[in-house]
A = this chain, B = another copy of it.
Amino acid sequence: MKDVVGFIGLGNMGLPMAGRLIDAGYSLRVYNRTAAKAEALRARGATVVSRPADVAEPGAMVVSMLADDAAVERVVSGDDGVLQRLGAGGIHLSMSTIAPATAGRLAEQHHRTGAVYLAAPVFGRPEAAEAGKLWIILAGPAAAKNRVQEVLAVLGQGNFDFGENPERANVVKLAGNFMIASAMEAMAEAFTLAEKHGVGREEVAQMFGQTLFPCPVYQNYGKAIAEYRHQPAGFKMSLGLKDLDLVLATAAAGTVPMPLASLLYNRFMTGVAKQRGDIDWSGIALSVSEDAGMA
């Protein structure tokens, strides 16, 4: 019989991740702000609780997968927060995409209670979460990292250890989202150039996905950008803006000028200003085409 694991956050990513842990034999205590989403897991044997603190047991492990910095801080602190119960020897495996500075602050708070904060943001869409094919970026104290290996093996296809400082995992995660967005902008401009010269967008997307860029980011976003298919949103434009804002804030903290990140930031801002905050972030391609007179 495996350990009891607490799990917080049952959104598009968290729900399939929690499901995999149940299938792998873990006893799960789950919490979600919108309680209804937990019912499917109750049917599969999870214990559903009504306060974040109640997923924790002294010295045990809690996994969280939430939308943003504020959500993570909410479930950690306060009278209902997991830090009320986690205590010495407890581990919080924090898998959300948040600011490095927030991760640093949270690690400090955990440390004061004897618990350990592990930063473990992931790359992968909901399908990858479902299949246990996430890539996991890990940082925090070594002993705790050893203790979570089994859980990570259930959730991901590999994890990368970036040392003891949890902020670093979040820096790397933001760097990755920035690189994906850069690839989207490059494709949008390249395909528009091609189209204006009589070459079909889809034809060129397909060719590059087989030749220079045979990797899912180019293949999948390339197809979406070629077809202007930005709904339903896998990852919203408004979240793209939030992430680029985090990238620039992190860059500022390190005094790093990132002109390409600034360009992308303005693209996402334009998308949100044009009422496209809820479509997929690949929708920045629409502005590229509009600026070329293709309304």
Q: Chain B: which residue is nearest A269 at the CB level?
A: B257
In the complex, A176 has a CB within 8 A of chain B: yes
Query: In the complex, which of the residues A251, A258, A272 has the most CB atoms of chain B within 10 Å of its own CB atom?
Result: A258
Bound CA–CA A160/B199 (angstroms): 12
CB contacts (< 8 Å) of A250 on chain B: these are 193, 197
A123 touches B211 (CB 8 A): yes
Q: How many residues of A contact B (CB 8 A)?
A: 75
Q: Chain B: which residue is nearest A188 at the CB level?
A: B260
CB contacts (< 8 Å) of A252 on chain B: these are 245, 269
A262 touches B262 (CB 8 A): yes
A272 touches B255 (CB 8 A): yes
Q: Chain B: which residue is nearest A161 at the CB level?
A: B203
Known: A135-B212, A158-B210, A204-B175. A196 touches B254 (CB 8 A): yes
The copy count of this chain in the complex is: 4
B187 touches A185 (CB 8 A): no
A179 touches B187 (CB 8 A): yes
A199 touches B260 (CB 8 A): no
B266 touches A293 (CB 8 A): no
In the complex, A143 has a CB within 8 A of chain B: no
In the complex, A182 has a CB within 8 A of chain B: yes
Among B174, B180, B273, B291, contact of A292 (Cβ-Cβ < 8 Å): B273
In the complex, A275 has a CB within 8 A of chain B: yes
CB contacts (< 8 Å) of A36 on chain B: these are none
CB contacts (< 8 Å) of A100 on chain B: these are 197
Report which A residues bind B (CB closer than 8 A).
100, 123, 135, 137, 158, 160, 162-163, 165, 167-168, 171-172, 174-176, 178-180, 182-183, 185-187, 189-194, 196-199, 203-204, 207-208, 210-215, 217-218, 245, 247, 250-263, 265-267, 269-270, 272-275, 287, 291-293
